[in-house]
Structures are given as C-alpha cells and as structure tokens.
Amino acid sequence: MSVHPFTYVRADDLETAAAALTSDAVARAVQNPDDVVLLAGGTTQYDLMRDGVWSPGTLVDISGLPLTDVEVEGDLLVVGAGVTMADLAAHDAVAGLDVLRDSLLLAASPQLRTMATVGGNLLQRTRCRYYRDPGVVQCNKRVPGSGCAAVEGTARMHAVLGVDAGCISVHPSDLAVALVALDARVRLHGPDGARTVPVTDLHVRADEDPTRDNTLRAGEVLTHLEIPVPDARTGYLKVRERASYEFALTSAAVVARVEDGRLAHVAIGLGGVGSVPWRARRAEDVLAGQRPTLELFEQAVEAELADAFTVPGTTFKPELARRTLVRQLRDVTGASE
C-alpha cells in the first residue's frame, strides 16, 4: 500500500479553521478543493484515504470547535454541525419530529452514529462502488472524462433522478432527505463572511457536474443547520435490503398538513434514487390543495418519476420508489381511498 504524506492542522476555533483553509500554504485548494479538507467525525474520510481514493495534502481537524449545541429558537431548531447523529436523535426537541428522528436512527449503525456528525453526514461523498475503487478507471466523478463504469456494470444501488449516462452516483444521506422535506438551511462561514443556503441548493446534481459534490466555496465551513419545526405530520420510510446498517434502495420523507379535507401543505424528499437529496417538487405541485387520495398519490409519483434515467441494474427503482412514496403519503395524511 502506498503512503501519501499529509499535513494535520487542529483548529480550536472557527477563525483558526478558516485561516487554515485559506492560508498561503494551502492556497492551491482554490484550484484543487480536494487538497485541503475538514475532518470532524471522520467516518468516511478515513475510508477514502485508506483506499487511495482521496489523498488530501492537508487535514483540518474541526472536531474540537464549539459546534455541538442544539438550540430551539421559536419554531426553528438550530443544530451545530459538530453534533453527532446519535445525540441529535436523542434530543428532546426531536422527539416529536418523526421525519428527522427516524432519518437519523435508520442510518448507519449505532456505533457510527455516535461518531458521525450531522455536518459530515450532509457533506459525505457518494458510496458508489466504482468511485470508491481506484482500480476502476471509468469514473467521471474521480477522473473527469473517463466515463461511468456503473452504467454498464452492477448498478442496483445507483440513482435514477438527476443523472445521465455520464454519472449515476447516488447521494447516500438519510438525514439530508429529511432536511430537504423540512425546508432546512445550513449556515456557512468563509473568507467572505457568513451566508445561509437551503439544503436543496447545497448539493450538485451528477447530470450537471459529476466532479462537484456541493456548492461550498473555497474556505467555507458548515457551522449549523437551521431546521424549521413544521405545524404538520411527518414521517420517514426507508426501504433497504436488510433491516440495519444498510443504505436505502429507496426512501421517502413526507411533511404534510391536511385542513378541511385538503392538503394545505406538503413537502417531499426522496432518497436512494437521486444524485442529490431529491426534493419532489413535481409531485408536490400535483398534490397541493387537493383532497388526499391514493389515486392522487399515484398521479403525483408518476409526474415525479416521468424523467427517470435507468440502466439495466436500476430498472426496478422507479416502481419501488412509487410504492415507497405512495405508502408514506398514505400513512402521513391518513388517506384511506
């Protein structure tokens, strides 16, 4: 196994982290963002480095930053990016927010959830087996212009939305699927100051640019999540090949409120099928203001999946996604017909 030397920087405050990311010594990160990376829980970075997929020149450890608080500000839940998935799932403020709690508890394993941070989970890289195998030459995400081995290979765990023949990698986060349905935002701190970005705008679709994972600018640090607590019923359904420690084949996060027999509010996130945490806006448009029925749900899902891009290994996914979303819409809205 080859050895790749790197520089380790431990940041004790946000200013030190920002300075490390933008110092002259690591200024080349502006041209090569992979050369300087942040380290929090480390549950994915270490794997990528060990396998030779990711070889950063500098690791900036932010695990000691004061980003581990969970605060309730009116109807807004503000979560530090350093909060672990396990701690957030166990927090009293999350007890009644089923879609958020379940997306956390159904992810990874108990051991990993005690280490993995919510910020790291949102920004994790794809679990595509071809991307994570440096022996595979065809990977547009890892080697731009080389092709996509998954298109003609084993692609059961790959995406059908936000993809094309150039890349069918799937975004693996359960938490992110819940967050897009909750209209959550992230706070970013960088050289140009602070800004807030909707989670729906945080990731880059594979069919737009497979070489980019997210929209963070050079030197930016994700510091907090802002999660609105909705006046609505919520739920998260994850379909996988085994009952634990497995990524989603499909998943659905639903936030819905029924008033006077009609859908006054509905928001949907889909997982396991998108190159990004997928906000199902076409389906929402079909559902908005309508009387919730199983027939309507079928129409909404058909609209959402109309442009699904499948390869031989993923032809089952649109149908599985349809069943997943219809069931979750039924359960959250209480529709019986």
176-217 pLDDT per residue, tens = 999 999 999 999 998 889 999 999 999 999 999 999 999 998
Q: Which CATH number fits domain 1-66: 3.40.640.10, 3.40.30.10, 1.20.120.450, 3.30.43.10?
A: 3.30.43.10
d(CA 277, CA 219): 23
Q: Where in the chain is the domain with CATH 3.30.43.10?
A: 1-66
- Distances in Å between the Cα of 157 and the Cα atoms of 45, 76, 197, 248, 300 are 21, 34, 28, 8, 24
Is 233-333 CATH 3.30.390.50? yes
Nearest to 313 by CA among 144, 137, 170, 143: 170
Quote the pLDDT of residue 33.
53
d(CA 241, CA 165): 25
- Distances in Å between the Cα of 336 and the Cα atoms of 263, 268, 285, 286, 290 are 14, 19, 21, 18, 15
Partners of 203 in the β-ladder: 214
Which tens digits make up the pLDDT trace of 113-161?
A: 999 999 999 999 999 999 999 999 999 999 999 999 999 999 999 999 9
Q: Provide the token pair at 216.
A: 């963070």
Quote the pLDDT of residue 36.
79
Which tens digits make up the pLDDT trace of 68-94?
A: 999 999 999 999 999 999 999 999 999
Please classify residue 259 by burial: count the beta carbons closer than 10 Å to its beta carbon, then call 0-12 exposed, 13-18 middle and 19+ buried.
exposed
CA 58 to chain centre: 24
Using pLDDT thresholds of 50, 70 and 90, give the confidence band for residue 337.
confident
Nearest to 173 by CA among 49, 276, 101, 54: 276
Buried b (16+ CB within 10 A) or exposed e, 304-330: bbeebbbbebbeebbeebbebbbbbbb
Q: Where in the chain is the domain with CATH 3.30.390.50?
A: 233-333
Q: Provide the token pair at 160.
A: 């059908």
Please classify residue 47 by burial: count the beta carbons closer than 10 Å to its beta carbon, then call 0-12 exposed, 13-18 middle and 19+ buried.
middle
d(CA 74, CA 96): 15
- Distances in Å between the Cα of 206 and the Cα atoms of 131, 164, 308 are 13, 8, 13
Which tens digits make up the pLDDT trace of 293-325?
A: 999 999 999 999 999 999 999 999 999 999 999
Classify strands 58-61 and 76-80 as parallel, antiparallel or unpaired: unpaired
Classify strands 233-239 and 250-259 as parallel, antiparallel or unpaired: antiparallel
**Cα-Cα-Cα-Cα dihedral sign, residues 170, 171, 175, 179:** negative
**What order do you get walking across the sheet with 233-239 strand by strand?**
233-239, 250-259, 262-271, 278-279
Quote the pLDDT of residue 20.
73
Which tens digits make up the pLDDT trace of 213-231?
A: 999 988 889 999 999 999 9
d(CA 116, CA 185): 19
Quote the pLDDT of residue 12.
83
Quote the pLDDT of residue 27.
45
Sequence-distant (≥ 6) Cβ neighbours of residue 200 within 8 angstroms: 180, 183, 277, 279
| Least reliable range by pLDDT among 57-66, 166-175, 269-278, 288-297 | 57-66
